[in-house]
Each structure stands twice: as C-alpha cells, then as structure tokens.
Amino acid sequence: MKKKFAEEFIDFIDKSPSSYHAVKNCSDILDKSGFIRLDPSKEWKLEKNGKYYIKKTSSTVMAFTVGEETSTDYGFRIAGSHTDSPCFRIKPNPEMTVENIIRLNTEVYGGPILSTWFDRPLSVAGRVILKTDNVFRPETVYVNIDRPLMTIPNLAIHQNRSVNQGVEIDRQNDVLPVIGLINEAFEKEDFLINLVSKESNIDKKDILDFDLYVYAYEKGTLLGAENEFVSAPKIDNLASVYTGLRAVIESRHVNKGINIFVGFDNEEVGSSTKQGADSNYLMNYMERIYIALGMNRGDFLTAVNNSFLISADGAHAAHPGFTGKMDPTNKPSLNQGVVFKISANQKYTSDGFSISVIKQIIEGKDIKTQDFVNNSKEAGGSTIGPISSTHLETDSVDLGIPMLAMHSVRELCGRDDLYSLKELIKVFFEV
C-alpha cells in the first residue's frame, strides 16, 4: 500500500514539470473524483455533501467539501501547501549566442542548489498565452517539451582546477542552458517561440507571451535496498500537495465544518502575490463559501476563530554526513514519521497547543511523528504557515515529511512518510 502510494506520487511529479501542470493534474484528479469546478467570477450555489474546487491564475488550487450540516463551532479544517519549487525562469528574448552555441537567458527562481543542475538533461515547461476576442481573457495553454532538450555544462576540471574546493556560481552566466548549435536552419529571432510553436502545435502568430521554466527531465524513482526511498525533483513541495489532495478526496466528511485543501503558488519567492499565501485568496474564498451556504459575515468570522490550519511543507532530516547541522535533541529521520516544525522565532506556527491538537487527533492511529527545531546557529527557512496566519485568526501547526537534499534538483524522502502524511491529513479532515 505504501509502495503503491509512493509510485502514484512519483507519477504525479513526473506529470508536473511546472506549477501550472501540478495544478492541472490536481484539477484532473478532482474532476475524476466528482468535485465540481466553481467559477470565481460567478455566483456560487453550494449544496450539502457537495465537493468543489477553484483554480487561480493556473498555478493555485483550492478544493473543499461541505458536510451534511455546517456549524460555526466547527469552522474550517484547512490543509495548506504550495505548488512551486526552486528552478530557473526563462527571460523574454532569451536567445544568446556564444561561438556557435545557442544558450537561453534565465533568471533564478527561489533558492535552488545551483550546482545540482549541471550536466543533466533539462527541458522547458510552463504556459503560453494566446490571443482571444476578449483582450482581458486571453487563452492559457500548458506547454511541456517532453524530451531531453538542453543542459548546463560544467567547465572541465583541466580549466578549473579548484572546482572540487568549491566555486562561486555566476547566476547570470554560469547557469544558462545550452539548447543548440548555429547552422543553416538556425533562426535566432524567436528561436524559443518557434520551438514551442512547433513542439506544441500552436500557431506562432497567436502567442502573446509566455511563463516558461527549466525543469529536470529525468524521472523520479524508488531507490534503496528495500525501495524505501523516493528520489525525484520537486518533492518540496509537491509531496504536501499530493498528500493533501488525496486526503481531501479520500476522507469521509463526518464533521460539521468545511474541509479545505489549498495549494498556493510563489512560496519559494515570498508568497506576496495574488496567488500566494500572503494574499486574501484563501480568506476571500472561505467567506464566499459561507455566503453561498446562506450565512453572514458574523457567522464567518466566528467560524474562522473555531478553525484550524495545517501548513504542510518539507522538513529537514538528519544528514549522515553533517549531523552537526542538526539540533542535538531533535533530529528527524527518514521513514520515522511526520515532522512537527517548531521555531521560537515564529518561522513556523507550531506551538504546544496546536501540536497537542494533532497528537490527540492521531492517537491510536498508525501514524508516527517526530520533532524538528533548527540548530540555534542556523537560520533555517519558513513556510506558508506564518504568512497565512497573518490573514487568518486561527490556530495552526507546521508539519511535513523529513527529507534530504532540500532544494536540490533531485531531493530524497522516505517512502513510508508520504503515506503517513496523507493519513494524518485524512484523519484531520474526518474528526
């Protein structure tokens, strides 16, 4: 069961080379599971025992279920995550030629471990925007050039003898992918657009603009002596997206609240966008749910105060080669359970109260947990939890699966932890 779930997760990642594809795949799964898509630009009509979802700017998704009864005493049960991962965004007019080689000009998105992107097959995915009769509603088309297309070559050791001592990487020059050679057929003008047009069967003259990203073409896989690990791109944070999605679909809605799964975009760059956690996106749609169910703003604000948020994101596992980087007494291990993430500086929302809520929810279940606190000499990162909490007046806990090589082009997590996170969120929705 756990192995099968991990294999399904890997398939989800392989089909999600960009946040746009991740959200499309979520919506496809929700469609097949009987969820009804709502249009944010129209009035909503919701029914008891209904299952619904909303998409925002192609890269954020929110799915929710309505119980037989709805009470402000139960509020909302929310499982939040994010759809984006560190990578490279392709700039406008990206074609650059040096000697006889064509490279694409890129901009670093988020905080990737740059060195891990070298010398591996890469490709391009994202979206292109097409002309329509309504200038305020151009068409969005998802693009994935599904083949090994380019690479970022290292400089040979003979020309860089200090490479194994550590070398500073120039973000403007050193990480630009090689995509082709100049020949008789080469047209520098609109090279990328021409390629996208040809590969995706899109008429070039209809393309207005694009949001395209570089991704690692190699597929995810199980590995280890007992297939106990998952090695794949974008585990941070498609692991939380997929487990939250599956949990809201599989859970039995027996409580009197509203169960919500949400995948925000742009967490890796601060969340301060209309589709990020530092927006009113979630708050607004939660209120719309209550209005559509015939309740008023006072009811909604009462419900918010009785709500609970799980912020699900990757957690650090103890690295066997760098144990000194971990806190001396809180060292999460792979396949040893879901991690509570704790920070005195409020980088995470977990506190004694919110952790206790989850511990009681899973009591008696086959779900293990462990704790993570940063080594006091390390700054650590943050999540959507504290950001969302500035908009939602509700209790919250930060948790996630432990992993190694976070923000590498390929990350590593435990197979069993994925299933445990899904089950934890599922139980949370069923209480």
Confidence of residue 272 (pLDDT cuts 50, 70, 90): confident
The 3-state DSSP composition of the chain as helix, strand, coil percent (nearest 5) reads 30, 30, 45
Give the residue-averaged pLDDT of 36-42.
95
Residue 388 has pLDDT above 60, yes or no: yes
Across the range 59-63, mean pLDDT stands at: 96
- Report the pLDDT averaged over residues 290-305: 95
Quick one: what percent of the chain has pLDDT higher than 70?
A: 99
Query: Tell me: the pLDDT tens digits for 117-174?
Result: 999 999 999 999 999 999 999 999 999 999 999 999 999 999 999 999 988 999 999 9
Residue with tokens 């409020």: 346
Count of beta carbons in the 10 Å neighbourhood of residue 329: 7
Q: What is the mean pLDDT of residues 410-422?
A: 98
pLDDT at 404 over 90: yes
In this predicted structure, the answer to whether residue 177 has a pLDDT above a threshold of 90 is yes
Tell me: pLDDT of 413 over 80: yes
Higher pLDDT, 56 or 243: 243
Q: What is the pLDDT of residue 186?
A: 56
**pLDDT (0 to 100) of residue 187:** 63
pLDDT average, residue stretch 262-287 = 91
- Predicted confidence (pLDDT) per residue in 305-347, tens digit: 999 999 999 999 999 999 999 999 999 999 999 999 999 988 9
Is residue 306 within 8 A of residue 315, CB to CB? The reply is no
Q: Where are the beta strands (DSSP E) in 217-363?
A: 221-223, 229-232, 258-264, 308-312, 315-316, 338-342
**216, pLDDT greater than 80:** yes
Q: What is the token pair recorded at 416?
A: 């069993």
Maximum Cα–Cα distance for the chain, whole Å? 72
Rounded mean pLDDT, 398-418: 98
Question: Taking a C-beta distance cutoff of 8 angstroms, is the pair 309, 385 a contact?
Answer: yes
* Strand intervals (E) in 292-410: 308-312, 315-316, 338-342, 369-373, 395-400, 402-404
pLDDT at residue 101, rounded to an integer: 92
**pLDDT band, very low/low/confident/very high, at 89 (cuts 50, 70, 90):** very high
pLDDT score of 183: 72
> In whole angstroms, how far apart are CA 84 and each of 87, 164, 190, 265?
9, 31, 27, 6
Higher-confidence residue of 181 and 178: namely 178
Q: Report the DSSP pairing between strands 122-130 and 308-312.
A: unpaired
**Is the pLDDT score of 185 beyond 60?**
no
Tell me the average pLDDT of the chain: 94
Short-list 241, 243, 212, 249, CA closest to 64:
249
Please give the domain boundaries of the chain with CATH numbers for all domains.
Answer: 2-85+233-430 (3.40.630.10), 87-216 (2.30.250.10)
Residues 380 and 199: beta-carbon distance below 8 Å: no
